[in-house]
Amino acid sequence: MLVALAEEQGLSFLLAVGQCQLGWIIGRQGEIDNGLRLLAQAITVLNTLGRSVRLQVGKYLLTDILALSGRRDEALALLDDVLEFSGKTGARWLDAELHRRKGELILASENSDTEQAEQAFRQAIDIGREQSARLFELRAATSLARLLLARGKPATARQLLQPLLTWFSEAADLPDVREASALLAELEVGLPPTDQFPG
């Protein structure tokens, strides 16, 4: 609806914002080429309009679809660009999620570097904690807990997740909380993870 209304009324900024979201959604639903096309168009418009913060959000969404298409190196390079912008401008509200995503991409790449991935996850946790962004902290902790479990450190993984999940006790229906709770349940019964490194 946003895309249709913005197009009808000639609102180029809102059209680009809507195309970013729509491109990401349809890409996640499997229409990767269409998703990439919409995101690329929107990013070009946002760049032309000088809307730098929204441009960075668009780039972040693009990294997700690039990764789905198997273009992980491009996705990593783009994430580094967004992090560089964040460092220069102080617009750090997405940094925890950017570092978490970077860790996931490193693990999924051909030359997987678990040390580098762990560092990215720990950075994401620290930033989430510093910013009181509990959901971002939980997401990063879940990613790190999977990695720790894969490295044969289930007790450390459990110690990482348990206190965070206590904080979310009244939000058990959130997808990220359900995912972390399921992983904690696996840790507590000693089952191997079913999907260690999601793309």
> DSSP for 55-108?
HHHHHHHHHHHHHHTT-HHHHHHHHHHHHHHHHHH---TTHHHHHHHHHHHHHH
Identify the band that residue 190 occupies on the pLDDT scale cut at 50, 70 and 90: low
pTM score: 0.83
Residue 192 has pLDDT above 60, yes or no: no
Residue 110: its pLDDT value, please? 76
Residue 195: its pLDDT value, please? 43
Mean pLDDT rounded to a whole number for the chain: 89
- Mean pLDDT on 7-36: 92
Between residues 135 and 192, which one has the greater pLDDT? 135
Between residues 4 and 193, which one has the greater pLDDT? 4
Span 116-128, pLDDT tens digits: 999 999 999 999 9
- Mean pLDDT on 75-86: 93
> What tokens were used for 86?
């964040």
Q: What is the C-alpha to C-alpha distance for residues 26 and 12, in angstroms, rounded to an integer?
A: 20
Contact 180, 142 (CB under 8 A): yes
The domains of the chain, with CATH numbers, are: 1-91 (1.25.40.10), 96-199 (1.25.40)
- Mean pLDDT on 135-161: 95
Residue 199: its pLDDT value, please? 38
Residue 98: its pLDDT value, please? 95
- Mean pLDDT on 51-79: 92
Residue 104 has pLDDT above 80, yes or no: yes
Which helix (H) or strand (E) element contains residue 195?
Answer: none
- Mean pLDDT on 16-45: 95
Residue 68 has pLDDT above 90, yes or no: yes
